[in-house]
Amino acid sequence: MLHEYKANHTKWKTIFAQKKKVLENILGDQIIMIEHIGSTNIPNLVAKNVIDIMVVVNDISIIKQYSESIQKSGYKAPREFFPLCIMFDKKTAEYDVHMHICDQHNNFYKQKLCFRDYMQKHYEIAAQYAQLKLKLVQEHSYQIKDKNGIRAYTYEKNDFIKSVLQQAEFNELMINFCMHKEEWEAYHHLKKELIFDRINVAYSEDHNVFADPANFHFVLYLGTHIIACAQIEISTHMPKTAILRAIAVAPNELRKGYATYFMHNLEKWSSMKGCSVMRLHTAPDAHEFYKKIGYDNAPFDEDKSINQDAIDMAKELSAQPNKNV
């Protein structure tokens, strides 16, 4: 499954350069950067025959205009990978290509570049990573997938990757879907303590909302630490409407611009889902915050909040990039 490829390092760089040129011809000035990430760009590291390409663009919402051209160059139809990040896959007889196209406002790409750059400079850490990867393959975790189709192999590398990012002093904001155990634990803790406990409403981690495909659950990272969570429902009874069901930011991280960053990314993601309006119920003490980021009072009586004092608000969503993030 994994093989030593140090003799082929030039080969991977050559193949990446070829793929990069094709993408530049398709996407043109939409591109901010194209980078070779993943294990095939870390010298002497065992790796699958997979080239990971990171493409950062001005505005992810316009990529659908280029999807057909990308697929004509050999890639499969895109799938959502991270919020504001989609993936195109391509298989050849010798190798696979995983192309991540990310919006500039979700710093997922910075995390990937930080990890790659640190590993390229610290060979002893790369050697430890190689040992971990071989161990996981031998334990067959590569074959085991969760309900989201994500391999156990991926999750079990998480602690190591987190430690490398901490050593590299990665400290960027990054939004993600709730995916693994650590993210769900942080999500439930923040939501229960900062929302439900404060209004004396019981919180259940087994609520049917977590199995409802219309509801999406997010966490916000600062570096490797989760500092906020959010829940968005894509309404099935109000056309083109996203509803912010919950958002909670750790108290020690308030008034630092993080909530604004989180909201801008959630709004843009909702817009990509085809929504033109975001609605929400806010506690009175957060009313001014939402006014500052463009929300107006807008009752929607058909949808009641669990907080009897909540104020209903709404905002028209723009498909344009967020200029002030």
pLDDT tens profile 114-171: 999 999 999 999 999 988 888 887 775 555 555 555 566 677 788 899 999 999 999 9
Instruction: Report pLDDT for 147.
Output: 57
Query: Regarding predicted confidence, which is higher, 77 or 154?
Result: 77
Task: Kindly report the CATH class assigned to 173-316.
Answer: alpha beta
Question: Average of pLDDT values for 73-86?
Answer: 94
Is residue 20 within 8 A of residue 34, CB to CB? The reply is yes
Neighbours of 181 (CB within 10 A): 10
Strands of 173-177's sheet in order across: 173-177, 215-222, 225-234, 241-249, 277-282, 311-316, 296-297
Q: How confident is the model at residue 213 (pLDDT cuts 50, 70, 90)?
A: very high
Instruction: Report pLDDT for 299.
Output: 86
Instruction: Report pLDDT for 9.
Output: 72
Is residue 51 within 8 A of residue 97, CB to CB? The reply is yes
Full DSSP string of 209-269: GGG-TTEEEEEEEETTEEEEEEEEEE-SSSTTEEEEEEEEE-GGGTTSSHHHHHHHHHHHH
Is residue 35 within 8 A of residue 117, CB to CB? The reply is no
- Phi then psi dihedrals of residue 209, to 5 deg: -65, -25
Using alpha carbons, select from 209, 253, 262 the residue that is nearest to residue 227: 253
Domain spans of the chain?
6-167, 173-316
pLDDT tens profile 55-75: 999 999 999 999 999 999 999
Instruction: Report pLDDT for 323.
Output: 42
Full DSSP string of 77-138: PPEEEETTEEEEEEE-SS-EEEEEEEETTSTHHHHHHHHHHHHHH-HHHHHHHHHHHHHHHH
Cα separation, 313 vs 301, in Å, equals 11
For the cut 70, the answer to whether the pLDDT of residue 219 exceeds it is: yes
Please tell me the pTM assigned to this model.
0.91
Using alpha carbons, select from 88, 5, 14, 94 the residue that is nearest to residue 46: 5
Q: 154: which residues sit within 8 A by CB, 6+ positions away?
A: none
In the three-class reduction of DSSP (H, G, I as helix; E, B as strand; rest coil), residue 44 is classed as coil
In the three-class reduction of DSSP (H, G, I as helix; E, B as strand; rest coil), residue 40 is classed as helix
Using alpha carbons, select from 252, 245, 247 the residue that is nearest to residue 300: 245
- What is the CATH architecture assignment of 6-167? 2-Layer Sandwich (3.30)
Cα separation, 138 vs 47, in Å, equals 14
Is residue 57 within 8 A of residue 85, CB to CB? The reply is no
pLDDT tens profile 263-306: 999 999 999 999 999 999 999 999 999 999 999 999 886 666 67
